[in-house]
Structure 1
Amino acid sequence: MPRPLRVAIVGSGPAGIYAADALLKSEVAADPGVSIDIFERMPAPFGLIRYGVAPDHPRIKGIITALHQVLDKPQIRLFGNVNYPTDVSLDDLRAFYDGVIFATGATADRDLKVPGFELDGSYGAADFVAWYDGHPDYPRTWPLEAEKVAVLGVGNVALDIARVLAKTADELLPTEIPPNVYEGLKANKALEVHVFGRRGPAQAKFSPMELRELDHSPNIEVIVDPEDIDYDEGSIATRRGNKQADMVAKTLENWAIRDVGDRPHKLFLHFFESPSEILGEDGKVVGLRTERTALDGTGNVKGTGEFKDWDVQAVYRAVGYLSDQLPKLPWDIDSGTVPDRGGRVIQESGEHLHSTYVTGWIRRGPVGLIGHTKGDANETVANLLDDYANGRLQTPASPAPEAVDAFLAERNVRFTTWDGWYSLDAAEKALGVPFGRERIKLVEREDMLRESGA
């Protein structure tokens, strides 16, 4: 009787779990069956959902419910707190599995190459998000001394950062934020938050719902300058062909024509302002210089030579995420992705790196919403299964599932399991009960390992 197809997935965020789901829904899952092991460097699963989504977005975090149902399947095992490549290498994985799928996402900040980006008070978005989401590998405190703050970028991450900076700590207290984050936000001095976009309202990458949510806080006054509402032929075409872009533009238009209210925290959305320099004094941020831009007819912009200095004491760069380079895999340094063809990892020679695949942001870069990774995973899995059907996968030397447990034990790797997640989940929920909160997230890795029974 043939053994099940053995697949390792590196990364337990949405991309990795969607790949597991696609494998379970395939014909191979019925005969001869599939056996999937998911490796995750954090003690807890869910990747971006746990450590990359703002805590006041329970609707998005609700995606965990669907991902949870996949991980509940008996064909899947979770190995948390296992780091690639220090705990397990590509060669190790090939010894145990027919195929390996990398779904490691993107967690670092893409550089913004303007003078002054290295100043004290110039921060990457990814670092700040990791702090307020309680990532165990990041500092427990965050400097929130600035009364006026700039956020560079017009995507949902920029909105998240602006909203967290502009809200009060008590507004965020009902969420899962850990005590150190609450105490940090209580000390936040920001009264003005300025969000800057290089292009116009039609080119903003906000989701309509996330944009509208900015205006729901009783403490945040959202302000748009009427002079920033401008469209050219390319912008009009974008609005006609993209319903979401049109909804975003309409929301911004409505805010631009209303009277400014008296809510205590001001959040300004600026368009047609391209950052040219972060201004410093004694090594610290004291301002931001932008160049005014103008539409060129195609929806793109050109500089006007008109510059303006903004009085801010901190700058958050939300200009995109970047994946970490994976050892033993080819790498495209410009895009920050693993070269692939339909999810098959492609070497410099143009040949497929046998039995090795990618999906999600490590494959195509940090673009699109969480749900977009599902189609990506389906394509990758379809090609893996095609290679399996045509005998192109390498046969592992030790395909028995227990061989993996023995290997990790021999390496003294303290790994967590899916049962361990249930224990950690219960512990975090129990912490929230006395305060009427759904959960309070544990931050210290050692605490997470203990509650998971690692």
Structure 2
Amino acid sequence: MLRVAVVGSGPSGVYAAQTLVQQREVPGVRVDVLDRLPAPYGLVRYGVAPDHEKIKSLQGSLRTVLEDERIRFLGHVEVGGPLLSTGRLLELYHAVVYCVGAARDRLLGIPGEELAGVHSATEFVAWYSGHPDTAAEAFDLAGVGSAVVIGAGNVAVDVTRMLARGEPELAPTDMPQPALGVLAGSGVRSVAMVARRGPSQGKFTTKELRELGTLPGVGVRVDPAELALDPAYADPGAAAALPAVARRNLEVLRGWAEQDPDGTPRAITLRFYLRPVELLGGPGGRVSGVRFERTAPDGRGGVTGTGEYEDVEAQLVLRSVGYQGVPLPGLPFDPATATVPHAAGRVLRGGRVSVGEYVAGWIKRGPTGVIGTNRPCAKETASSLLQDAGALARRELPDDPLDALRAAGLEPVEWPGWLAIETAEAALGRSLGRGSVKIPDWTGLLTAAAADRPTG
């Protein structure tokens, strides 16, 4: 029997586990899926906007995999922490697949990022998604009238939409009650989503973009003059050469540029060809605005500064300019790419394959692609592991690694514990007159998980 640990229960980790147990070439594979959190599903639970029910429904297919009798979920297990090193983990399993994602956002690298009111979109998403590492009081929007979101990807669109939504649309979601209360009482009336390049180069999908135009009581503004700066906007030949999604995005933006959104209680403004150069401070050390430099196409797919500047008012600034992987103690790490060096998923140490260690997902390839991109990525890694199975399985292992984890002082949350959390979240929602509501703190999650254990 080949015993494998998969570290991370997001899509890449679950897809890796699924591939390993459903293949037929190597019989008897058993997989433990470990996660630092007591809840599974990774960014599907903690990174997908709560009003995106269709994407969140992917939890159902991930759940089916984790309920396979050949797979065991062990939450609340931190690998690389003081109780469990990567070396010790490899002693307990024939192979370890690290699927730990890219947990840190990129900085803008401009003056003023230390000001109050300046956050990463990653932190904002984690807060309204109920991630237990984010304090419930992390955001206070009562005194915020204007917000700026810097970025042009789907995450930027998500946080822009969440800032503009009202309580009636958010209450039916599983958003934690503290976050719902803050957003319901928000003073935000204007949100500007700003990109340094043109509309044809936006990284958002058309479906996400269109959603901004369907929000009740929200008008969308687009400056035709900024659209006209994009060479593909006015040139049918250049537009025809664009990918289909970019062409569709331009048509959506063109439609908004021709509308008059005045009179709506809230407004979203999409800005292009503006590069942030400084975050401006106001009273009490809080951000008061963003200074942008106007950019222009450089003819090579990039932009260049023009020396013209514009200040945009904001009491809240969210940067959404990409994710980065972070080093896991005990694993090699390439700071240039923020990934673990590998060959077809096999971890490389000093350029040589590290026997029994593998990677999949964002920590393998960088933060690229959509959720489905993780499936072929995980399959490649699992295929490499299965090719190595004969040599890996020769090593004798201790008995059930769960016993060793407990002996080390860890208290793993098994699948019944996760089901107990689900039950507690459903009960919390009923008590609030809502559907299931996430428990957003460590104490609450672990207390709920312990409900499946016998007393005494």
Q: Using structure 1 for the length normalisation, give the TM-score.
A: 0.93
Please give the alpha-carbon distance, in whole angstroms, between the structure 2 residues aligned to 1:59 and 1:239: 31
Please give the alpha-carbon distance, in whole angstroms, between the structure 2 residues aligned to 1:120 and 1:57: 29
1:229-258 Cα offsets, whole Å, 9 max, x none, are 133269965763522222222111111112
| Per-residue deviation, 1:45 | 0.3
Please give the alpha-carbon distance, in whole angstroms, between the structure 1 residues aligned to 2:348 and 2:20: 22
- Alpha carbons 2:296, 2:303 under 8 Å: kept: yes
- Quick one: which of 47, 51, 57 aligns to 2:46? 51
The residue that corresponds to 2:204 in the other structure is: 206
- Alpha carbons 1:97, 1:395 under 8 Å: kept: no
Q: Does 1:13 align with 2:49?
A: no
The residue that corresponds to 1:40 in the other structure is: 35
Q: Using structure 2 for the length normalisation, give the TM-score.
A: 0.93
Please give the alpha-carbon distance, in whole angstroms, between the structure 1 residues aligned to 2:108 and 2:23: 42
SS of the equivalent of 2:355 reads: strand
| Per-residue deviation, 1:65 | 0.9
SS of the equivalent of 2:446 reads: helix
Q: Does 1:70 align with 2:65?
A: yes
Please give the alpha-carbon distance, in whole angstroms, between the structure 2 residues aligned to 1:37 and 1:417: 10
Please give the alpha-carbon distance, in whole angstroms, between the structure 1 residues aligned to 2:393 and 2:110: 47
Aligned residue runs from structure 1 range 48-197, under 5 A: 48-86=43-81, 87-141=83-137, 142-144=139-141, 145-197=143-195
1:57-115 Cα offsets, whole Å, 9 max, x none, are 11110111111111110000011011111232211221121111000112222111011
Please give the alpha-carbon distance, in whole angstroms, between the structure 1 residues aligned to 2:312 and 2:374: 38
State the superposition RMSD in angstroms: 1.9
The 10-residue stretch of structure 1 (83-92 or 377-386) with the greater mean CA deviation from structure 2: 83-92
The residue that corresponds to 1:324 in the other structure is: 326
Identity across aligned pairs (percent)?
Answer: 41
Please give the alpha-carbon distance, in whole angstroms, between the structure 1 residues aligned to 2:249 and 2:226: 14
Would you say how many aligned residue pairs link Structure 1 and Structure 2? Answer: 444
1:155-205 Cα offsets, whole Å, 9 max, x none, are 111111111111123321110011111121123111100010011111001
The 10-residue stretch of structure 1 (66-75 or 178-187) with the greater mean CA deviation from structure 2: 178-187
- Alpha carbons 2:130, 2:440 under 8 Å: kept: yes
Q: Which amino acid aligns with 2:12?
A: A
SS of the equivalent of 1:59 reads: helix
- Specify every segment of 5 or more residues in structure 2 that has no aligned partner in the other structure, as ranges: none
| Per-residue deviation, 1:434 | 5.1
The residue that corresponds to 1:365 in the other structure is: 366
1:265-289 Cα offsets, whole Å, 9 max, x none, are 1110101111111111353211111
- Alpha carbons 1:233, 1:297 under 8 Å: kept: no
Q: Which amino acid aligns with 2:13?
A: G
The 10-residue stretch of structure 1 (52-61 or 437-446) with the greater mean CA deviation from structure 2: 437-446
1:377-424 Cα offsets, whole Å, 9 max, x none, are 0111111111224x2x37544254x2x121122123221111222222
Please give the alpha-carbon distance, in whole angstroms, between the structure 2 residues aligned to 1:256 and 1:24: 52
| Per-residue deviation, 1:34 | 0.6
Please give the alpha-carbon distance, in whole angstroms, between the structure 2 residues aligned to 1:107 and 1:148: 28
| Per-residue deviation, 1:18 | 0.7
The residue that corresponds to 1:251 in the other structure is: 252
- Alpha carbons 2:77, 2:412 under 8 Å: kept: yes
- Alpha carbons 1:335, 1:365 under 8 Å: kept: yes
| Per-residue deviation, 1:118 | 1.3
The residue that corresponds to 1:351 in the other structure is: 352
- Alpha carbons 2:200, 2:232 under 8 Å: kept: no
Q: Which amino acid aligns with 1:104?
A: V
SS of the equivalent of 2:115 reads: coil
SS of the equivalent of 2:14 reads: helix
Q: Which amino acid aligns with 1:119?
A: L
The 10-residue stretch of structure 1 (107-116 or 4-13) with the greater mean CA deviation from structure 2: 107-116
Please give the alpha-carbon distance, in whole angstroms, between the structure 2 residues aligned to 1:238 and 1:345: 42
SS of the equivalent of 1:27 reads: coil
- Alpha carbons 2:102, 2:323 under 8 Å: kept: yes
Q: Which amino acid aligns with 1:371?
A: G
- Alpha carbons 1:218, 1:263 under 8 Å: kept: no
- Alpha carbons 1:95, 1:396 under 8 Å: kept: no
SS of the equivalent of 2:19 reads: helix
After superposition, the Cα gap between the structure-2 partners of 1:159 and 1:276, relative to the gap in structure 1 and judged at 3 Å, is: same
